[in-house]
Structure 1
Amino acid sequence: MQRAPDKTLELLREVRQTYDRIVDDGCEIHDRLIRLNDQLIRLRFAGAALVDLVLPALEHLLVEGETAPQPDLTVCLWDEATTGVGMPASPWSTDDFTSRREIHGANGPGVKVAYDMYCGIFSVVSLDDGCAYWWISSPERLPAYERAAPLREILQAWSEHKRGVFVHAAAVGDTSGAILLVGKGGSGKSTTAMAAASAGLRLVGEDYCLLSYRDRTPMVHSLFASAKLTDHSLSMFPDWRQLQSIRCAMTATRL
């Protein structure tokens, strides 16, 4: 039977012990629940510094006032500046890191690892245990692209583990259904989606979406309440410059 590489399993054990130690040392924990498709996901923030940076793009998925049963997935987040606790030493060399956040030889059955070599975000998810860990050295290092689509590798690994399909596409629609807008980067998916939303359709997502089947019906689910627009797009729709946040009007609809 295949298993994850020993290096990865050992790091996962050390990361779990590190976060448990942060909790045991009395760090204030802020729990939030989100629902993605039929999955209940608990976000556990060590300290408050990351809450307002990570949650805005996920706020349309928040579950308010629910004393939930055991969540399907728990994501533990912390930063070193707030907690004084860093990541355990990486067992991989810098040559193993790629620009696509992958680590050569790190992933295996049941465990997915990602590392952003530009801002230093590290994440690992144990699919069998339903737990994940996310770390950055300081909130100040969190880039705009990560605030727009936070926890992407974790949510993708978990959704695909649960038979969803994580797609790089935009989606707009109404109560009768939705359409996907697909194309390579820079082809105009975001501009088209926002133009459709301005014309009266509802925005599901402008960059990433989750696909699933429900009662044999294909469904598209909103992931992030954000939009990344170029200066050219803003020149065509100047009113968008006034937007401080994007409200996804639909969290799910059929295709």
Structure 2
Amino acid sequence: MSDFYQDENLQHAFAEGMAASYTAAAERREERVGVMLAGIPIELRFASPALSAILLPALRHLPPIPEGQTPGLTISAWDRAGSGIAAPPPPFDKKRITDRGDIWGFASRRYRLAFHYSEFSVSLFDREHGNGYFWIDDAAGLPYWSAAAPLRTLLHWCMEASGHQLLHAAAVGTVHGGLLLTGRGGLGKSSTALTGLLNGMDFAGDDYVAVVLEPKPRVYPLYSSAKVNRDQIGRFAALAAHLRNPGGGGDEKAIFDLLPAYRAQIPDEGMPIRAILVPGVADQEESVIDAEIGLDAVRHAAAFSTVEQLPYAGKGTYDFINALTQRVPAFRLRLGRDQAALAASLKHLLAHPLPAGARAHAPSADWPLVSVVVPVYNRERMLPEVLANIRSQGYPQLEIIVVDDGSTDRTADVARTQPDVRLFEQPNGGPAQARNRAIINARGEFVACLDSDDLWPEGMLVHLVDALRRDPQADVAYGWAQMARVGANGDTEFESNPLEGFPFYLSGTVFRRRAFDQVGLLDPELRFGEDVDWFNRARERGTKVLRLDCASVIVRRHGGNMTYGKNLVQLNVLRVAKKVLDRRRAAALPSSSQP
């Protein structure tokens, strides 16, 4: 079983088993529906009437494949209860399944494979032949959101194979074009999109849409359904007659079926994207659209939640969004309470575009000096790439400090060849001691940490420093860690949802220098868990920490990491927890009783 993750023959055998199982299921009955999505012909095949009855309604708006055109992609779906045919046994350890569904360590250039616990479904896509397979044990067990956004993982892979992209975004428009609304959940994408719909605007989705770049950026409707929290149903009373699940529980979102009532407002040919909006709720009556947003913030808002949810979304997704934001202006949308005024503002923006959109931050000489701390141990091959990544951030005031923690290879020699690097050497004492050495000697007002295994996404250093500049009370800014696997050929492929990663990570974090005066340095006794320990102490002291909605560091796993193969005891999880308890006990003792 363990060889499956790397062995293409075993992967191919499982894919053949999936294909054979569907063929057996389809011998009893099969329904085929050809649809066009973002200009790509896809044939949907169902070997179970119960399954097609659940999955097809939200896709009925997609136009049929023109006569004479052959679909280049197929998705075949079946369930055991409806067909009597099970899928092949999963050849992977369930412990390897990530929150977003991909399989940790699964390396294949040909196949994509995901298992979604929420549906208990298997999705497989053969990128070489364009064939996708979806299996679930019983269609009746599908959760409500699967009917609202069916086959999302496979449609994501279909769009990816065609050079397009599914985005976690909403879109509305007029005859003048469309507006793409992006950002994490809860910021107002769905409510804005439905407000536009009820005020006569075209609607291309409230949660996920398909986007193409060529010849010009364009957004296409993916689903003809919409979702809102149940406490928002009253705001959209006009849609009450189209509520699919009126008896749903409090945690179940309300789903509106927009067909056939709003069919005319769902454009078959999509809409040219005229602007990107990043919404946020404001305590005011009228909504305001302005350009007070940095280009990096737009990119991260568009990319983070998409990568968080779609299996195997990674560097290609970031590259796509970077290209999109270079070609389409972006603005901040401050959402007020007046819905009619909001729709009027959206229509006015399309009819009378603002002169400029988001701007790339161009830090000037008056931005504070940042000392970048890089602890290294036997990293002679990786160090040049890490240093190049730091320099590529475009930050004008940098001090790069490399601390060689007793390496036995040529790491120190490599660092000495770099004219802009301050090198410190010490006997091996662990990363906490190495970072402390650098922090003590740092000259910058800000201190940024980057481990020698890791990389910053493009523009991340500027993004983090700018967040602290905008909030003088905050002393720490960081995002989430995006895990990545380094293949045998050196390629880096993202794995899993960033929100599944370590909750605290020094690499990819920027600190005000004063934070270490208040909290103290890293605990030199801890070779592992020193990051968790420091953030625990920062929380206890009331240090203001900014957690940004972005992946602030790419953590590359290659088998040579210090944490590779370590158990919880070796990683000091219990030891760090005990330190918290010891501090609490000490604080509870009368001062005369303390040692």
Could you state the TM-score of these two structures normalised by the residue count of structure 1? 0.91
Paired with 1:249 and 1:16, the residues of 2 have a C-alpha distance of 34
Amino acid at match of 2:19: R
Paired with 1:129 and 1:253, the residues of 2 have a C-alpha distance of 30
Q: Which residue of 2 aligns with 1:52?
A: 53
SS at structure 2 position matched to 1:129: coil
Q: Which residue of 1 aligns with 2:481?
A: none
Amino acid at match of 1:219: R
Q: How many residues align?
A: 249
- Spell out, residue by residue over 1:169-211, the C-alpha distance to the aligned partner (whole angstroms, 9 max, x if none): 0000012200011121111110111011112211111000111
Q: Compare 49-58 and 3-12 and name the one that shifted more.
A: 3-12
Paired with 1:46 and 1:83, the residues of 2 have a C-alpha distance of 7
Amino acid at match of 1:148: A
Give the superposition deviation at 1:62: 4.0
Q: Which residue of 2 aligns with 1:233?
A: 232
Q: Which residue of 2 aligns with 1:167?
A: 167
Give the superposition deviation at 1:70: 2.7
Amino acid at match of 1:112: R
- Spell out, residue by residue over 1:6-33, the C-alpha distance to the aligned partner (whole angstroms, 9 max, x if none): 443221111112222333xx31111111
- Spell out, residue by residue over 1:82-104, the C-alpha distance to the aligned partner (whole angstroms, 9 max, x if none): 11111101111110112211111
Amino acid at match of 2:181: L
CA gap of 1:236–1:176, structure 2 versus 1, over 3 A, is: same
Amino acid at match of 1:156: H
Q: Which residue of 1 aligns with 2:266?
A: 249
Q: Which residue of 1 aligns with 2:151?
A: 151
Q: Is the 8 A contact 1:205 1:224 kept in 2?
A: yes
Q: Which residue of 2 aligns with 1:18?
A: 21
Matches for 1:35-114 after TM superposition, within 5 Å: 35-63=36-64, 67-114=67-114
Flag structure 2 segments of 5+ consecutive residues without an equivalent.
1-5, 244-256, 274-595
Q: Which residue of 1 aligns with 2:185?
A: 185
Q: Compare 96-105 and 76-85 and name the one that shifted more.
A: 96-105
Paired with 2:80 and 2:114, the residues of 1 have a C-alpha distance of 18
Could you state the TM-score of these two structures normalised by the residue count of structure 2? 0.40
Amino acid at match of 1:28: R
When the two chains are superposed, the root-mean-square deviation of aligned CA atoms in Å is 1.8
Q: Which has the higher helix share?
A: 2
Q: Which residue of 1 aligns with 2:288?
A: none
Give the superposition deviation at 1:236: 1.9
Amino acid at match of 1:13: E
Give the superposition deviation at 1:107: 5.0
Q: Is the 8 A contact 2:118 2:143 kept in 1?
A: no
Q: Does 1:9 align with 2:9?
A: no
CA gap of 1:59–1:144, structure 2 versus 1, over 3 A, is: same
Q: Compare 108-117 and 170-179 and name the one that shifted more.
A: 108-117
Q: Which has the higher contact order (CA 8 A, sep 6+)?
A: 1
Q: Compare 55-64 and 124-133 and name the one that shifted more.
A: 55-64
Paired with 2:148 and 2:169, the residues of 1 have a C-alpha distance of 15
Give the superposition deviation at 1:5: 4.2
Q: Which residue of 1 aligns with 2:122?
A: 122
CA gap of 1:91–1:112, structure 2 versus 1, over 3 A, is: same
SS at structure 1 position matched to 2:185: coil
SS at structure 2 position matched to 1:35: strand
Amino acid at match of 1:243: H
Give the superposition deviation at 1:67: 4.7
Paired with 1:237 and 1:18, the residues of 2 have a C-alpha distance of 44
Amino acid at match of 1:17: A
Paired with 2:142 and 2:129, the residues of 1 have a C-alpha distance of 27
Amino acid at match of 1:224: Y
- Spell out, residue by residue over 1:215-255, the C-alpha distance to the aligned partner (whole angstroms, 9 max, x if none): 3x110111011101112321222222222411452230101
SS at structure 2 position matched to 1:172: strand
Amino acid at match of 2:95: D
Paired with 2:226 and 2:37, the residues of 1 have a C-alpha distance of 19
Identity of counterpart residues, as a percentage?
29
Paired with 1:13 and 1:161, the residues of 2 have a C-alpha distance of 20
Amino acid at match of 1:103: I
Q: Which residue of 1 aligns with 2:30?
A: 29
CA gap of 1:58–1:127, structure 2 versus 1, over 3 A, is: same
Paired with 2:84 and 2:201, the residues of 1 have a C-alpha distance of 46
SS at structure 2 position matched to 1:89: coil
Amino acid at match of 1:137: D
Give the superposition deviation at 1:4: 7.2
Paired with 2:25 and 2:37, the residues of 1 have a C-alpha distance of 27
Give the superposition deviation at 1:165: 1.8
Amino acid at match of 2:223: F
Q: Is the 8 A contact 1:5 1:106 kept in 2?
A: no
Q: Is the 8 A contact 1:170 1:206 kept in 2?
A: yes
* The structure with more radius of gyration: 2
Give the superposition deviation at 1:68: 4.4
CA gap of 1:20–1:167, structure 2 versus 1, over 3 A, is: same
SS at structure 2 position matched to 1:53: helix
Amino acid at match of 2:240: R
Paired with 1:150 and 1:4, the residues of 2 have a C-alpha distance of 30
Paired with 2:106 and 2:124, the residues of 1 have a C-alpha distance of 10
- Spell out, residue by residue over 1:116-146, the C-alpha distance to the aligned partner (whole angstroms, 9 max, x if none): 1122111101111111110111111111111
